[in-house]
């Protein structure tokens, strides 16, 4: 069994360059690869195309890369928590491709499955459908969407083993498994790392075949975008 464990984040990010396309797993701030994003923000890489469900928040998550203007283009779904993202988009500094959330998920899944494109009714009759092919299926118009792949996919899991098998927790399962499939090189950071064979095969969400490198993460903040509480 191939040992995919790398001892440090420098080895995990070997080959990362400017002008690449990256996928970042996570749902909101849940399940984002915090260690990897922070390290990328300290590197002299720019001109990046980033595919992510959201754009982080100011000073955290992808907000760190936006602050340093390392991102050239964002392909995402929900971006309402980041003032710097808004400023760059409205000023024309940042190219943005906003995609319905389900379509974004399926475009990533299709990329990982080797499906070049698919038709969906989501977005028909809106700005999303501009310049896209339309066909009628069962009397309903559908637009053609291309799949997404990336030079690197960066994902974060709750548990993983040295063979690259991953288990996610809660809403971290929304995009991480799909993006793990769609990266030419997939790098996983995990909270808990185990020797190969110690994780129950029936609980694996991402098989190790999709992961090229796995590293032990640390010091997770696990922020919440908007904390809502109520009196007892």
| pLDDT at residue 21 in the model | 98
119's CB contacts (< 8 A; 6+ apart) are 135, 137, 142, 143, 144, 145
CA distance 206 to 185: 14
| pLDDT at residue 205 in the model | 97
Mean pLDDT by 10 residues, the chain (232 residues): 93 97 93 96 96 91 95 92 90 94 97 97 94 97 98 98 96 95 97 96 97 94 76 78
At 198, list the tokens: 């110690």
CA distance 112 to 20: 18
Domains in the chain: ranges and CATH:
9-216 (3.40.1080.10)
In the chain the beta strands, taken as DSSP E runs, fall at 21-24, 48-52, 71-76, 95-98, 117-120, 134-137, 140-146, 150-161, 166-167, 183-194, 213-216
The alpha-helical segments, DSSP class H, found in 14-98 are 34-41, 63-67, 83-91
- Side-chain-side CA neighbours of 122 within 13 Å: the count stands at 14
Comparing CA positions, the residue from 169, 149, 150, 165 lying closest to residue 32 is 169
At 87, list the tokens: 């400023």
| pLDDT at residue 78 in the model | 86
At 75, list the tokens: 């392909």
Q: Which residues of 157-168 are buried (b: 16+ CB within 10 A; e: fewer)?
A: bbbbbbbbbbbb
CA-CA distances (angstroms) from residue 181 to 14, 129, 151, 154, 188?
A: 19, 26, 12, 11, 12
Prediction pTM value: 0.93
């Amino acid at each position: 069994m191939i040992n995919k464990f790398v001892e440090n984040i420098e080895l995990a990010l070997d080959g990362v360059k400017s002008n690449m396309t990256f996928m970042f797993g996570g749902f909101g701030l849940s399940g984002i690869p915090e260690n990897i994003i922070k390290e990328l923000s300290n590197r002299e890489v720019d001109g990046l195309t980033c595919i992510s469900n959201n754009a982080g928040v100011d000073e955290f998550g992808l907000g760190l890369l936006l602050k340093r203007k390392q991102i050239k283009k964002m392909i995402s779904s929900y971006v309402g928590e980041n003032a710097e993202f808004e400023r760059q988009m409205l000023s024309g500094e940042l190219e943005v491709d906003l995609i319905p959330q389900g379509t974004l998920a399926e475009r990533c899944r299709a990329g990982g499955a080797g499906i070049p494109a698919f038709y969906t009714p989501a977005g028909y009759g809106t700005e999303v459908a501009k310049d896209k092919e339309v066909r009628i299926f069962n009397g309903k118009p559908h637009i053609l969407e291309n799949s997404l792949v990336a030079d690197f996919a960066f994902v974060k899991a709750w548990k993983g083993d040295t063979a690259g098998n991953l288990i996610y927790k809660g809403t971290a399962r929304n995009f991480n498994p799909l993006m793990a499939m769609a990266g030419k090189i997939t790098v996983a950071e995990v909270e808990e790392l185990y020797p190969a064979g110690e994780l129950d095969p029936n609980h694996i969400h991402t098989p190790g075949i999709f992961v090229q490198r796995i590293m032990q993460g640390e010091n997770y903040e696990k922020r919440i975008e908007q904390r809502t509480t109520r009196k007892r």
